A and B are shown apart, each in its own frame.
Chain A
């Protein structure tokens, strides 16, 4: 079983749609959780951290369920510029070693 699992997609959605991604992780000792965005042939960029109480940043909402060991990302009112690969990332240990999911590809269309 992979440490971090994501549906690779692609998710093809029209502009304005709401789309949700889920991610599961296997290490119950994981401490921190993040969503990164990666554009084609570019470096990953931090989208948002994920907190136990859930958190929102504009059109983006992240949720963490420690009991079930999954993380979610909700994007409302999708824009063309949201088209990218979204990486679920889990940090473990004192060195904050990151384990990456393989990413979920989102394509927003007109």
Chain B
């Protein structure tokens, strides 16, 4: 069953702790993206990657880090430098065959501060 899997569904972070959110896709998509959604707001781009071993900062990259060692995996680390991490985190992927290809989303991870 093809799709994008995010884990965990819910995550709690203590002060000063780094946490890593997992995103795996078996769609053979080239590009992967991480977004953050706060209540009543639109999605904002954190990081994106168009190819293995390469990634770019989005609009709100401060306090986050990513890696793209495998095509199917794009984990996001929320570091202790991110002072307001409570949000809904969404991973997306896309087949890179031109601008008209839409992004498809995983079902998200809700991160809260303890």
With A43-B90, A43-B105, A95-B31 known as contacts, the answer to whether A87 contacts B42 (CB < 8 A) is yes
CB distance A44 to B100 under 8 Å? no
A42 — nearest CB in chain B belongs to which residue? B107
Q: 1/0 per residue B28-60: CB within 8 Å of A?
A: 000101010000111111001010000010100
CB distance A96 to B94 under 8 Å? yes
Q: How far is the CA of A67 from the CA of B82 in the complex (A)?
A: 40
With A44-B90, A91-B99 known as contacts, the answer to whether A100 contacts B104 (CB < 8 A) is no
CB distance B48 to A4 under 8 Å? no
CB distance A43 to B106 under 8 Å? yes
Closest 7 CB pairs of A and B: A100-B42, A31-B99, A43-B105, A100-B43, A102-B42, A32-B99, A46-B102
A-B contact pairs, 12 of them (CB 8 A): A45-B105, A49-B100, A91-B99, A94-B99, A96-B31, A96-B96, A96-B101, A97-B48, A97-B58, A100-B42, A100-B43, A103-B42
